[in-house]
Amino acid sequence: MNLYKYASPATFYPLAGKLIPWFAALAVVFGLIGLYLGLIVAPEDAQQGQVYRIIFIHVPTAWVGMVVYLVMAAYGVAALTLKTRLSSMMMEALAPTGALFTALALLTGALWGKPTWGTYWIWDARMTSTLILLFLYVGYIALIHAIEDKKRADKAGALLVIVGSVNVPIIYFSVRWWNTLHQGASVSVTGSKMAAVMAQGMLVMALACWMYAIAVVLVRVRAIILERQYKGANDMVGLSMGARGMAGTEMTGTEMMGTK
Amino acid sequence: MIAPNSLFEATPAAAQTDAPGAPRLESSKGMPEQTGAFSDASSDVVEQSRSLERGFFVSTKRDTFLAFRSKGEVIQALVFFVMVVSLFPLAIGAETVLLKRIAPGVVWVAALLSVLLTLPRLFASDYLDGTLEQMLLSPFPLTLIVAGKMAAHWLTTGLPLALIAPLLGLQFGLGGDELAVLVISLLLGTPILSMLGAVGAALTLGVRGGSVLVALLILPLYIPVLIFGAGAVEAVASGIDYGANLSLLGAGLLFGALATPFAVAAAVKISLD
C-alpha cells in the first residue's frame, strides 16, 4: 500500500471521512473510562481533597496543547520542503485545536490554583511558558488569516511556526530560569507521589483528548479542503477574465521603467 | 552601436591597454560596469567571495544612509524610547527604591517596543517601489543582502538606544556597574531584536494591519532576550554573577546571526512570490 497516495487532498478527503467516526468513538470511550477512573475510582487526595481531580483534565490538555505545536512545526517542514498542500491545510486545521487546548490548560490551571494556592495566577514557569505558547498560536492564526493569497499564507505560516518551534525550548528554559531567579520556593505542582490509579486516569484522559483532537482536526481539514477547492474553481474562472487586466498593468510597469 | 563607444570614453585607459586583447573587450562590451566586475570576479574564488560579501556591505551602507537621510526616523525611535521610559515614574510614583528596582525591566521593555515600531522600515519602502524584487534578482545572494539590511537596522535603532540608555538609567538611580552592564546587555541583545524582527517584517510585507500583526508574531519570540537582558542588570544590582546572562545573550546573538538571514531570505521570497 502506498501511503504517499494520501498526501493529496483529493484522496485524503474520503480517508479522513472514514476515520472520523472511529476517532470520535474512541474519544467517547476513553473519556468515559477516564472520567470513571478519575471521579469514582481514584481516592481523595490527602492534602488537596476533591479539588485535585481537575488534574485529570488539566494535565492532558496541557500535553495536547504543547505537542500540537510541534506537530504543526513538523507539517511546516513538510510544507516547505516537500511542498505538499495537505501539510499546510493540516497546520491550519491543527492551530485552533492547539490554541483551544492551551487555553483550557491555562483555565483549568487557574481554577485549580485558586483553592490550592489561593490565587488564580502566579508567574510560575510552566504557566508563563504555556501563556507564551498560546501567544504563538494566536500569532500563527492571525498571520494566515491576514494574508489573502492562500499560497503565500501557507508558506508564511509554515516558516513562522518553524521559527517559533526553534524558539520554544529557548523560551521554556529562559522562563524557567527567570522563575527560579525571581521566586524563592514556589509551589511545587506534583509534590506528593501519585497513586497508580491517578496516573492511569490521567493517561486515559490524555488518550481521550488526543482522539478528540484528531477527530476534530480531521473534520476541520475536510472543511478546509472543500473550501479551497471551491475557491480554486472560482479562481480558474476569474483567471481568463483577469488576464487582460494583468497584461495592462504589466505594460504600464515597463513604460514607467522606460521613462526612468 | 553606441554602447562600445561610450564604454571607450568612460574608461579610456583600460580601453587602450586592453584594445589588443579582444576577448577581454568582448566580455565587458555588453555588460554594465557592475556586472562586468562581478563576472571578472567569478573567475577567481577568492575574488568572488569578496564580491559576494560586497552584497552585505553595500546593502548595510545603503540602508544606513537612507535612514539617516530621512532625518526624523532615527530620532523619532529614540524619542519614543525616552518617552516610554519616562512614563513609568509618572504611572508608578517617584519612589527611588522602587524605580531603581524596575529600571532594568522598564528600559528593556521600552527598547523592545521601540525596535518593534521601526521594523516596517526594514523592507516596506523597498517592497513598495520594487527595489526588493531587484535585490532578489541581483547576482548577490539574498541572504547577505537581508543580513546587511538587518545590520543597518541595528546601527540605526539598537545602537542609538544602547548609547542613550545610561542617561535613562541615571534618572532611575542606577549605579556605575549597573549602567555598564545595561549598555553591554543592550549592545548584545538589540541585534537579536533586529534579526527576529526582520523575520516578522518580511512575512507581513504588504499585509493589512501589518504593524500590529508584527507585534503579535514577534513579541513572544522576544521574551528570552528580554529575560536575559533585564536579568543581567538585575543580577548586578542584587550582587549575583551576571556573566551567565550576558553569555546567553551572546550565544543568542551568534545563533541569530547564523540562522536568521536564511529565515528572512526565505520569508522575503515567500512574500514576493
- Whole-model pTM: value is 0.79
Q: Which of B127, B133, B216, B254 to mutate to test the interface with A (most CBs of A within 10 A)?
A: B216
Residue A49, strand partner residues = A45
pLDDT band at A240 (very low <50, low <70, confident <90, very high): very low
Q: Is the dihedral of CA B183, B62, B142, B39 positive or negative?
A: negative
Interface residue A123 vs chain B (CB under 8 A): no
Residue A45, strand partner residues = A49
Q: What is the ipTM of this complex?
A: 0.76
Question: Any idea which of A42-56, A244-258, B43-57 has the lowest mean pLDDT?
Answer: A244-258
pLDDT at A257 over 50: no
The stretch A164-176 carries a mean pLDDT of 83
pLDDT given at position A176: 77
Residues of A in contact with B270 (CB under 8 A): 152, 155-156, 159
In degrees and rounded to multiples of 5, residue A45 shows phi and psi of -75, 140
pLDDT, tens only, B141-155 = 888 889 999 999 999
Q: Which residue has the higher pLDDT, A46 or B122?
A: B122
Residue of A nearest to B200 (CA): A160
Residues of A in contact with B195 (CB under 8 A): none
The stretch B60-81 carries a mean pLDDT of 83
CA distance A129 to A112: 18
Q: Which residue has the higher pLDDT, B27 or A200?
A: A200
Q: Which of A102, A136, A145, A170 to mutate to test the interface with B (most CBs of B within 10 A)?
A: A170
Which amino acid, B197? Answer: G
pLDDT given at position B54: 77
Pick from A135, A142, A170: CB nearest B213: A142
Q: How close, in Å, is residue B253 to chain A by CA atoms?
A: 13
Q: Taking all residues of chain A, what is their mean pLDDT, rounded to a whole number?
A: 80
pLDDT, tens only, A102-141 = 999 999 988 888 887 788 888 777 788 889 999 999 999 9
pLDDT given at position B48: 60
The stretch A148-163 carries a mean pLDDT of 91
Interface residue B59 vs chain A (CB under 8 A): no
Q: Which residue has the higher pLDDT, B46 or A70?
A: A70
Name the residue with cell 516610554. Answer: B84
Residue of B nearest to A166 (CA): B221
- Interchain contact, A177 vs B220, CB within 8 Å: no
Q: Which of B192, B217, B233, B240 to mutate to test the interface with A (most CBs of A within 10 A)?
A: B217
CA distance A150 to A128: 33
pLDDT, tens only, B224-242 = 899 899 989 888 888 888 8
Cβ-based contacts under 8 A for chains A and B: 75
The stretch B107-130 carries a mean pLDDT of 90
pLDDT given at position A255: 37
Nearest to A68 by CA among A99, A28, A30: A99
Interface residue A176 vs chain B (CB under 8 A): no
SS3 string, A11-60, reads HHHHHHHHHHHHHHHHHHHHHHHHHHHHHHHCCCECCCEHHHHHHHHHHH
Residues of B in contact with A167 (CB under 8 A): 220-221, 224
pLDDT, tens only, B152-171 = 999 999 999 999 999 998 88
Q: How close, in Å, is residue A98 to chain B by CA atoms?
A: 17
Q: Percent of chain B scored above 90 by pLDDT?
A: 36
Q: Classify each residue of B212-242 as buried b or exposed e, where b means 16 or more C-beta atoms within 10 Å of its C-beta.
A: ebbbbbbbbbbbbbbbbbbbbbbbbbeeeeb
pLDDT, tens only, B243-264 = 888 999 999 999 999 999 999 9
The stretch A58-85 carries a mean pLDDT of 91
Interface residue A83 vs chain B (CB under 8 A): no
Nearest to B263 by CA among A165, A39, A208: A165
- Interchain contact, A171 vs B199, CB within 8 Å: no
- Interchain contact, A146 vs B208, CB within 8 Å: yes
- Interchain contact, B231 vs A178, CB within 8 Å: yes
Nearest to A137 by CA among A65, A84, A87: A65
CA distance A11 to A3: 11
pLDDT given at position B45: 56
Q: How many residues does chain B have?
A: 273
pLDDT band at B206 (very low <50, low <70, confident <90, very high): confident
In degrees and rounded to multiples of 5, residue A118 shows phi and psi of 85, 10
Domain ranges for chain A, please list them.
Answer: 18-259
- Interchain contact, A159 vs B259, CB within 8 Å: no
pLDDT at A247 over 70: no
DSSP H or E run through B175? none
Residues of A in contact with B273 (CB under 8 A): 151-152, 155
pLDDT, tens only, B1-14 = 333 333 333 333 33
CATH class of A18-259: mainly alpha
pLDDT band at A30 (very low <50, low <70, confident <90, very high): very high
pLDDT, tens only, A224-236 = 988 887 665 555 5
Q: How close, in Å, is residue B255 to chain A by CA atoms?
A: 11
The stretch B50-71 carries a mean pLDDT of 78
pLDDT at A100 over 60: yes
Domain ranges for chain B, please list them.
Answer: 48-272
Nearest to B256 by CA among B198, B210, B188, B195: B195
Pick from B217, B223, B234: CB nearest A143: B217
Q: Classify each residue of B188-210 as buried b or exposed e, where b means 16 or more C-beta atoms within 10 Å of its C-beta.
A: bbbbbbbbbbbbbbbbbbebeeb
Interface residue A166 vs chain B (CB under 8 A): yes
Q: Percent of chain A scored above 70 by pLDDT?
A: 80
Interface residue A160 vs chain B (CB under 8 A): yes
